[in-house]
Chains A and B, each alone.
Chain A
Amino acid sequence: MYGLKKDWVMEKRPRVCVLEDYVGSEARWCPGCGDHAVLSSVQRVARDLQLPPEKTVIVSGIGCSSRFPHYMKTYGFHGLHGRALPVACGIRSRRPDLDIIVVTGDGDCCAIGTAHWIHAIRYNMNITVLLLDNNIYGLTKAQTSPTTKRTERSNTHPRGSFFVSLNPISVTLGIDNASFVAQTVDWNPPHLYETIKAAHEHKGTSFVRILQRCPHYTSHIFAEAQRDSSLMLLMRHPEGINVPDAVAKTFKNQVEHDPSNLNEGREIASQSNGVYPIGLFYKNPQAERYDDFTSYGLEMGPSAEIEAVNEALDRFMV
């Protein structure tokens, strides 16, 4: 090129990650599955925030939604049923530099992994948790999950479920030290995108329940809410989930809710009028973070470590 040497390069080329940099194997979820929408939202958030793929880890358990890491081109940990959260907390304990996103389902999180869910919220390490809740066990073919509504039929309860369903939002809001609790739906991409983005930007454990359609087993459950937005309640606030006005306009039911008001968040979460509230129930950026404690001593070098071991050993000298 005229005026430039043949081997000219810019000293530093800014690295730009494009959407393809986050796209892994072809997603094998059923056509029409709500998980596809969550995947593309996560990929777009990652791109828009320019998360380095090598510094991003998606951790999951077992279930349809837990196949998620395979479809990202980042680091991933597709582990055991119900156990994504302890693994994610372990990763976070000594790696403040990574972005960690947990993808879990209603069986994975709210049944077999319940203990870890409660305690991970309490630990409040900097992790984004996406609960993809389709009200059913999909991968193992239609068994009742903790969020399956009472009287809904499944292969384990062919005459209808006996159990009163569990509300993951009110449970999470009941755990001490919860710091970010939100709900969104897979069929509203702008709201989904903004919620995931806000969750990622929160420093602490952000818990996002995503109502997610299963076209195979529970297609009827959210169908009406998808058709008729009056079956949803949009929570709005400058400190809440920031959706464009054009999107907000489509919601007939709206409420002004300050996410620092825990009791009001709990009230909205536990209303039983068949309306799905979406938005941010609660946020507390001041909540104690366990990773502040576990990352102690990361910078210690070998000589300091050896000195510490020698000092400890000397206390046992004969």
Chain B
Amino acid sequence: MKQPAIETTTPSTTDSAKLNRRTVQQHIVEVVSDSGEGAQTCGQMFGTVSAKMGNGIWTVEIIPAEIEPPRRSSAGASGNRIRLGSNPVTNAGDTADVVIAFNEQVLYSRIDGGALKPGTLVFLESVWAEDPQEEVRNAYQEALADFKKREFEVIEVPMEKECLKHTEDPRRGKNMWALGLLCAIYERDLELVHGEIVKKFTRKGKSVVNTNLALVDAGFNWAKENLSYRFEVPVVGTPEPMVVMNGNQAVGLGAMASGMDVCSMYPITPATSASHYLASVFHKAGGVVHQAEDEIAAVGFALGASYAGKTACTITSGPGLALKSEFLGLAVMAEIPLVVVVVQRGGPSTGLPTKIEQGDLLATLYGSPGDSPKIILAAATIDECFHFVITARKLAEQFRGPVIVLTDANLATGQQPFKRPVIREEWLAPPIDQSQWDSTVPPFDWDPETGISRRPIPGQRGGEYVLTGLAHGEESRVAYESGINQRAMAMRSRKLAVLQNSLKQPKLHGASEGDLLVVSWGSTLGAVEEAIDRVREDGGKVASLHLRFLSPLEPGLKEIFGRFKKIMTVEINYSDEEGEPYITPTTRRYAQLARILRDHTLVDVDCWSRVPGSPIPPGAIEAELRKRLNTEN
């Protein structure tokens, strides 16, 4: 065996006196492996167990686009980031404190992503030092030297060697061993870990469960004996019962809790796992998941069910949304209730299928031909992924049209604990009305003030009408006179104004007036607020405003904007940077929410947006805010 070229902290037997124990308010842990080695399962279980012990958590999946990309490659890195804290955690944070890497190449993908800092504690699988291939041994040694230069604190760990004592296939066992290691240094309750393993692997049989239990215990015991690090993240207990899940599971549960009959979908990353989850439980609540032949059929099927009085949703992502846009226009035109969940990923075109972007706001708002006003909500937390589906179903019925709920890849796969919802009967859709319809009431009996009307459901005698995508008046007859079209357009548009009138003014986070206001939407909530808090600690007169309703916008924005010298949005979508070649105030294309706000308020709203394919860390937002404040002075 070749000696390591550099000096690293060598594991040595520890006794409690020598323990290097630190108490921290929050810590960021990453587990990265080749795709297929199970770092995601390891990270998820560590997150779940931490939540169960009462810590706040926020997890982000590190996902390659392929199922089995090449081994030992930076592009194939797969895993999980877990930020845990004493208090509720609202975002993934900046750089990692502790990383477990199953090889040095996958760690490079995290280094390139800016996830590490000098001082990051790295537990690195050491089997590569003895690899039969010389190039692998060399690559490993080079990386070790490089990591030292980068000032990471590297601990080589004999993962494979230790795992071989318990399994013939260490590639499938390292993740549990690594979980054991993490649980030792974070002093997690091993009983809870065992419970998660039993829950996860019972379907695969007793021997799989036992192997995994043995591996986790082995990792735990090895770390107890050989590692001196102990991190204590004290728990501030909440009296409330909590649940922990990811955003797609929350969307699926929201669909169930809202009394949906049908979820009609076509597989698309990163939305599909919501339907996977739903398919596993929906039948118990009397619902059905329909996997359609394509995205268009998926929305058409849902609209058909909804037209027939049943409640339906479709769950998709950007490219699917594009295909559904004609049907969404029909839902607007013919006033058919429908819930559409759009789990945003990077675009345009196929873009970044597994990665986060907030790029579909304008597509949802303007994506259908003609004027097609629709309601758009954006969930900011996992909690809201659940509740917004319920809200959306109600709004869709009340305002008789499509309601779009925007989430994103970060929410979809990220885990966060939240207060366990108490399911209420009024959330469920009522049974369909089959009573006699007063045949003097037309199918679009628009209230002249609000544009709101009640719809007949097939089966209601006296309500027979032909729904049409053609321009039509109250009777749903094809409009041949121009006045009818003008009036019908007004009635459909009016509904949004009516809804805006019933919304509350959004609440500011931070100063109530001052130098700079950040406006944001979606999953950036926690990072933006953390950045605002940090800048305010140094006396910055800043605040943030996080919008949930994007169409119609929440009321009173112009008044709030008037209290700040500068307004800017922070978004994960593309905008031109002023000062770049050809980019002038007249050619510059703004971020998506910024455009809507400029249009809506006539205020000169600026923007700062990035498309890194990952959540924007609070530190990056903080740096930008400080830069803008300094430029101001």
Give A contacts to B, CB under 8 Å.
Answer: 24-25, 52-55, 57-59, 69-70, 72-80, 83, 85-95, 97-98, 115-116, 118-119, 293-294, 296-300, 302, 304-306, 308-313, 316-318
Contacts and interface: CB of A to CB of B under 8 A. Distances in A.
B466 interface: yes
B423 A313 contact: yes
Nearest to A304: B286
Given A86-B301, A299-B286, 6 more contacts: A75-B463, A75-B466, A76-B467, A93-B290, A308-B256, A309-B253
Given A309-B253, A316-B243, A93 B286 contact: no
Nearest to B287: A297
Contacts of A87: 300-301, 303-304, 307
User: Can you list the 5 inter-chain pairs with the closest CB atoms, starting with the nearest?
Assistant: A90-B304, A297-B286, A86-B300, A300-B286, A76-B466
B598 interface: no
A70 B468 contact: yes
B285 A300 contact: yes
Interface of B: 51-52, 54, 241-245, 249, 253, 256-257, 259, 261-262, 264, 281, 283-288, 290, 292-294, 296-298, 300-310, 312, 326-327, 330, 334, 417, 420-421, 423, 425, 428, 456, 458-470, 477-478
A91 B301 CA distance: 7
A77 B307 CA distance: 9
A130 B154 CA distance: 71
Interface centre among A73, A306, A310 (most CB of B within 10 A): A306
Contact of B423 (A86, A92, A310, A316): A310
Contact of B259 (A55, A91, A305): A305
B459 A98 contact: yes
B281 to A, nearest CB: 5
A305 to B, nearest CB: 5
B284 A311 contact: yes
Contact of B466 (A52, A78, A119, A294): A78
Contacts of B256: 305, 308-309, 312
A116 B293 CA distance: 7
Given A70-B478, A86-B304, A294 B290 contact: yes
B310 A95 contact: yes
B303 A54 contact: no
A54 B460 contact: yes
A304 B256 CA distance: 12
Contact of B305 (A59, A83, A94, A302): A94
A299 B326 CA distance: 33
Contact of B52 (A115, A297, A318): A318
A318 B283 contact: no
A70 B304 contact: no
A78 B467 contact: yes
B417 A318 contact: yes
A95 B287 CA distance: 13
A313 B456 CA distance: 34
A118 B456 CA distance: 31
A54 B302 contact: no
A80 B300 contact: yes
B312 A90 contact: yes
A90 B281 contact: no
B293 A115 contact: yes
Contacts of B463: 54, 75
Given A87-B301, A90-B303, A94-B305, A75 B464 contact: yes
B285 A305 contact: yes
B477 A25 contact: yes
Contacts of A294: 262, 288, 290
Contacts of B420: 313, 317
Nearest to B278: A312
A50 B261 CA distance: 30
A304 to B, nearest CB: 7
A83 B296 contact: yes
Nearest to B297: A86
Nearest to A294: B288
B458 A91 contact: yes
Given A76-B466, A78-B469, A91 B307 contact: yes
